[in-house]
Amino acid sequence: MTDSTDLIPSTIPPLLSPTTLAIRRFRKHTMAMMGLGLLVLLFLYVSFSGLILNGYCPPLGQTLYGEAWANCNDTGARLQPPSSEHLFGTDVIGRDILARTVYGGQISMLIGVSAAIMEVFLGALIGSVAAYYGGWVDSLLMRFTEAMLTIPSLFLLIIGARFFGGSLPTINFFGRELTGSVIAIILIIGATAWMYIARIVRANILSLRELDFVSAARALGASDRRIIFIHLLPNTMAPLIVSATLGVASAIISEAYVSFLGLGVQGATATWGNMLDGAYRYLETAPWLWFFPGTLILLTVLGINFVGDGLRDALDPRSSRHM
């Protein structure tokens, strides 16, 4: 008679946690890994290139470093094409474009990440409260969400940046001077882009709030706040992570829109968007004015979209990408 233990395989593959499975699925996603590598290179470019950037500024008669070099106005070298002295050329008032793409990239990425954090926070909060309490709370919050969806966000961004950018004070952020227009754009983008996230979170929590683990938490005396933030929202992290990733790309593009129109970040603070302001006048005569900042915006958004696509597949439990 055959022993039943002989039917058990000698090697049983270990059970993998959902996080481990998600990481393995993400690593198998070729485009996502390419996008991640691209974002790492861009991050290194805007983070560490400033440590070695320097140049002689004739108007001041001295060598400047870092952001000071990026803001040196040398009208005698205006609209210079790329050369050994200015690798990316100079703009209409003689500022070095390479230095400005480095420091402009820092502000563009700061705007993208900050606005995405704000919109995810607002969307998760409103969507979870509406779904958990239901009734008139749900109706009120969802009608407000639908009303916000009917308002063109780009229109609000242009109007808000125009009227509120100059009224906010300049702040110091890790050694960088951020004008009020930067703060205004972050707040406006974050306050006008949370609606889709709220609807996603609401749909997920509506399907979770009647499950046994939520009923058990109520029976044990857990507060509504604890149930929402400890039990429900962590179970909606997958769509939130994907939405946050894509929200960064959307915020960078939105900032570029308004800055291209001359209504975005003002003053000496450079962004990839406001470097494009006025470049349309030199599309043929000085293409380096728009090529370098435009290419960096394109590569950043492309990389973020690839990573977001990979995260969507990796965090989907029904994904066909398994190990």
Instruction: Supply the DSSP string of 43-111, one letter for each residue.
Output: HHHHHHGGGT-EEEETTTTEEEEHHHHHT---GGGTTPPS-SSSTT-B-TT--BHHHHHHHHHHHHHHH
Residue 222 reports pLDDT greater than 50: yes
Other CB atoms closer than 10 Å to residue 237's CB: what's the count?
13
Q: Predicted confidence band at 298 (pLDDT cuts at 50, 70, 90)?
A: very high
> Between 232 and 160, where is the model more confident?
232
pLDDT at site 295: 92
Q: What are 113's two structure tokens?
A: 């990440």
Helix (H, G, I), strand (E, B) or coil at 3: coil
pLDDT at site 322: 46
193-211: average pLDDT? 88
What rounded mean pLDDT belongs to the chain?
Answer: 83
Distance (Å) of CA 8 to CA 3, 14, 248: 10, 14, 50
Q: pLDDT tens digit string along 203-217?
A: 989 888 888 888 888
CA nearest 86: which of 68, 70, 66?
A: 70
pLDDT at site 143: 92
Residue 141 reports pLDDT greater than 50: yes
Q: What is the CATH number of domain 104-314?
A: 1.10.3720.10
Q: What are 176's two structure tokens?
A: 């960088």
Q: pLDDT tens digit string along 265-293?
A: 766 778 888 888 778 888 888 899 999 99
Q: pLDDT tens digit string along 69-92?
A: 788 888 888 888 888 888 898 888
15-21: average pLDDT? 73
251-264: average pLDDT? 81
41-45: average pLDDT? 92
CA nearest 204: which of 230, 235, 245, 241?
A: 235
Helix segments in 134-274, DSSP class H: 135-149, 153-164, 180-191, 195-208, 212-219, 224-226, 237-260
Q: How far apart are CA 83 and CA 135, in angstroms?
A: 66
195-207: average pLDDT? 90
pTM here is 0.83
3-23: average pLDDT? 63
